[in-house]
Amino acid sequence: MKKITSIYILSGFLALGAVTSCKKDFLERPPLDQLSEATFWKNPNDVYQAVMAVYNQLPGDGIIYEDGATDNAHAQYPWESSATDVSAGTLTSTTDAGWSFIDIRRANYFLANADKVTTIDAALLERYKAEVRFLRAMFYYRLTNKFGDVPLFTKVLALGEENIPRTPKAEVLKFVTDELDAVSKILPQTYAGGKPNEKGRITKGAALALKARVHLNESQWQQAVDASSQVMTLGYSLFKVDAESAIDAKDDYSKWVTFANANDEKKFRLGLRSYEALFHKVNEGNAEVILDRQQIDQKDANFLNTYLLPGTIGGWSSVTPTQELVNSYGSYKTGDAVAPTDPAQRATWYNAKDPAFANEYKNRDPRFYATILFENSPWNAVEDDYKFNWVQGASNMSLTGYNFRKMVDPSIYRQQVDNHANIILIRYAEVLLTYAEAKNEVSGPDATIYDALDAVRTRSGMPVVDRAKYADQASLRALIRNERRVELALEGQRYMDIRRWKIAPQVMKTINNIKNTQAQERIWNDRFYLMPVPQKEVDLSKGVLTQNTGYN
C-alpha cells in the first residue's frame, strides 16, 4: 500500500517557512520559522499541507490508555496518562483527562482560510474540506465522551471571544452526526494513491462508521443500524491469513488446546494468526481497516512494543490485562463462557507450581492466545523459544501477572527498531458488532445478527453462535457485549461501553494479580461517568465554564 507520504511530516502549517522576493529589503522578510499570513494560502500545496496539519491531530497509540481506564486493563504509570487516576477513582478537579481544543481550532482555521487559494481544483478543495470536517466531528465526539457538554464553536476565535460556555452534549452530537452525514456524500469510497489521493485518507466508509459508533453510544439503535448497514455495502472484509509463517508454526499449542484432528488445529492456528496479524505493519491498510492513523517509517514511531511488552524483553508493561479480561474469553470448543477459577485456588496452584494452574488457560478463544501473555505461553515470533514468565516486583513488569501481545509487532521487535505500524482507529469487525447490537435492540434476534456475529467469530477460529441457546434478546445481548469486549480489547471502545451500558459501578472494582494480592485499589463514584473540567480552565474562563457534578 502506498501510504500518505507526508501526512505527519509537519506538526502543522505553523512550522512552514515563508517565501519572499529577493528584491525586498532583508529586514522586511518575515521570519523563516513562523507562519506568515501574507505568504501562506497562495497555492494548492499550501492547502494540502494545512490538511495534513489537521490529520496530525488524530489519536494514535494512546488509545490503549482508554482501556487502562476500564476493567480490561491496568495502566500502572500515572505520569503517562490520566488512566491510572480514572481507574483508581482518585480523580480531582486538577485532573486533565484530555480537555483540549487545539485540534478543533486547527480544523476551524483551515475551513476559514482554504477558500483563499483560488488556483486549486474546486472538487479537490471540497473534498479537503470534507476530510477536515470529519476530523473536527471526530474530535468533538471524543470530547463529549469524556466531558459531556463542551463548548461548540466552528469559527476562528478573535481575541476576547475565547471564553465560550459549554454547549449541551445532545446539541454537540447532533452537529457531529449531521457533519458526518453531510461529508459521507462528498468523500470517495477509496483513493487511487499518489498525491493528493493517498490511500489512508478519510473515506465515505469512515464517515458512516463513525456515525454508527456515535449513534450506538447514544442508544439511537435504528440510526446505528442504518449507518452500519451502509458501511456493510462498501466492500470491506475481515482480514484473514491462509498460512502460518515458519516461525509462528514453532509455537506449540498442544499443551493448551485439545485438538480433535489436524484440521481442527489448522482452524485454531489460522484464527489466532488472522486476528493478531491484523495489527502488524506488513498487513497495514488491509481490507478490514476503515480508518487508521498513518505512521511514517523511521520518522513517526508508535511505542506499542515498548508500552505493552514486559520488562524482561525491553518493555515497560505500561498497560496490562486484568484477570477480569482474561475471564471474558470463552471456550474454543463450545463457544460458551468459561467459569473463572477461584482466585484463592489460582494463587495456591501458582505458588505451589502445581500443574493444575495451567488448566485455566486451556481450550480458550484463539483471540485469548493472540491477545494475552500468560504464564508459559509460547511466542517464538518475538524471540526463539520464548515463553512468558511473570517476575513479580521486577522493573517494568506487570502488576497483574499478565501482559498484552495484541498490537505488538514481533517482526519489528526482532529488528530492534521502532514500531511504525499504523494505529487502527475504526475497523470492519467493529461495524459488524455495532450492527448486531443495534439490530438486536431494535427487533431482537434475526439471521442478519447471527451472520454478523458469526463472521467475526469464525475469522478468529471460534464456533458460530448457537442459535437455540441465544434465541432471545436478553441472552443475545449478553453475548454481543462480551463479543465486543474480547474482539475490541485494547482498542479504546470499552471506556464508553461500560458507561453507556451503566455497568461501570459493577465492574470497576479493585483488581488483584494471579497471586490474589492487590494490583490496584479501585473506587467508583457515579461522578466518574464524566471527567472533570480542569479547574485551571474553569478559573481562566472567569465563570463562563461550569464544572461537572461532584468535582469541587
- pLDDT at residue 4, rounded to an integer: 32
Return the C-alpha cell found at 24: 525586498
CB atoms within 10 A of CB 158: 7
Q: Which residues of 353-390 are buried (b: 16+ CB within 10 A; e: fewer)?
A: eeeebbebbebbbbbbbbbbbbbebbbbbbeeebebeb
* Domain 13-72+101-241+534-540 fold: 1.25.40
* 523-545: pLDDT as tens digits: 999 999 999 999 999 999 998 99
Return the C-alpha cell found at 304: 506499542
- pLDDT at residue 25, rounded to an integer: 39
Contacts of 3 (CB under 8 A, 6+ apart): 198, 199, 200, 284, 285, 294, 296, 422
Mean pLDDT over 92-103 rounds to 96
pLDDT band for position 272 (cuts 50, 70, 90): very high
Helix (H, G, I), strand (E, B) or coil at 456: helix
- pLDDT at residue 295, rounded to an integer: 85
CA distance 102 to 116: 22
- pLDDT at residue 36, rounded to an integer: 64
- pLDDT at residue 35, rounded to an integer: 56
Handedness of CA 516, 521, 525, 529 (dihedral sign): negative
Q: Which amino acid is at 31?
A: P
N- to C-terminal Cα separation, the chain: 51
Handedness of CA 215, 217, 218, 220 (dihedral sign): positive
CATH number, domain 428-515, options 3.40.50.20, 3.40.47.10, 1.25.40.900, 3.30.465.10:
1.25.40.900
* 348-399: pLDDT as tens digits: 999 999 999 999 999 999 999 999 999 999 999 999 999 999 999 999 999 9
Mean pLDDT over 200-227 rounds to 98
* 363-372: pLDDT as tens digits: 999 999 999 9
- pLDDT at residue 417, rounded to an integer: 84
CB atoms within 10 A of CB 265: 14
CA distance 368 to 330: 9
- pLDDT at residue 23, rounded to an integer: 37
Check: CB of residue 174 under 8 Å from CB of residue 191: no
Check: CB of residue 323 under 8 Å from CB of residue 514: yes
- Please give the share of the chain, as a percent, with pLDDT higher than 90: 89
User: Which residues in the chain are classed under CATH 1.25.40.390?
Assistant: 13-72+101-241+534-540
Using CA atoms, how far residue 471 sits from 219, 345, 547, in Å, is 22, 35, 45
CA distance 29 to 393: 59
CA distance 483 to 462: 11
pLDDT band for position 34 (cuts 50, 70, 90): low
CA distance 481 to 470: 13
Torsion angle of C-alpha atoms 222, 227, 229, 230, degrees rounded to 10: 150
- pLDDT at residue 383, rounded to an integer: 97
User: Which residues in the chain are classed under CATH 1.25.40.900?
Assistant: 428-515
* 391-427: pLDDT as tens digits: 999 999 999 999 999 999 999 999 988 888 999 999 9
Mean pLDDT over 95-111 rounds to 97
- pLDDT at residue 161, rounded to an integer: 87
Q: Does pTM surpass 0.85?
A: yes
CB atoms within 10 A of CB 552: 7
CA distance 466 to 215: 28
CA distance 20 to 16: 13
Q: Does 22 have pLDDT greater than 60?
A: no
pLDDT band for position 28 (cuts 50, 70, 90): very low
* 438-469: pLDDT as tens digits: 999 999 999 999 999 999 999 999 999 999 99
- Cα–Cα nearest to 382, from 408, 421, 420, 419: 408
Q: Does 24 have pLDDT greater than 50?
A: no
CA distance 462 to 373: 19
Q: Does 203 have pLDDT greater than 70?
A: yes
* 305-336: pLDDT as tens digits: 999 999 999 999 999 999 999 999 999 999 99
Using CA atoms, how far residue 188 sits from 204, 207, 223, 552, in Å, is 6, 10, 22, 47
- Cα–Cα nearest to 147, from 118, 168, 178, 125: 168
- pLDDT at residue 159, rounded to an integer: 86
Contacts of 551 (CB under 8 A, 6+ apart): 91, 92, 93, 527, 532, 533
Mean pLDDT over 11-32 rounds to 37
Check: CB of residue 396 under 8 Å from CB of residue 317: yes
- pLDDT at residue 420, rounded to an integer: 86
| Backbone region of residue 499 per phi and psi (left: phi > 0; alpha: psi in -120 to 50; beta: other values) | alpha
Return the C-alpha cell found at 52: 495534513
Q: Which amino acid is at 338?
A: V
* 144-177: pLDDT as tens digits: 999 999 999 999 999 888 899 999 999 999 999 9
Average pLDDT for the chain: 93
How many Cα atoms within 13 Å fall on the side-chain side of residue 391?
A: 12
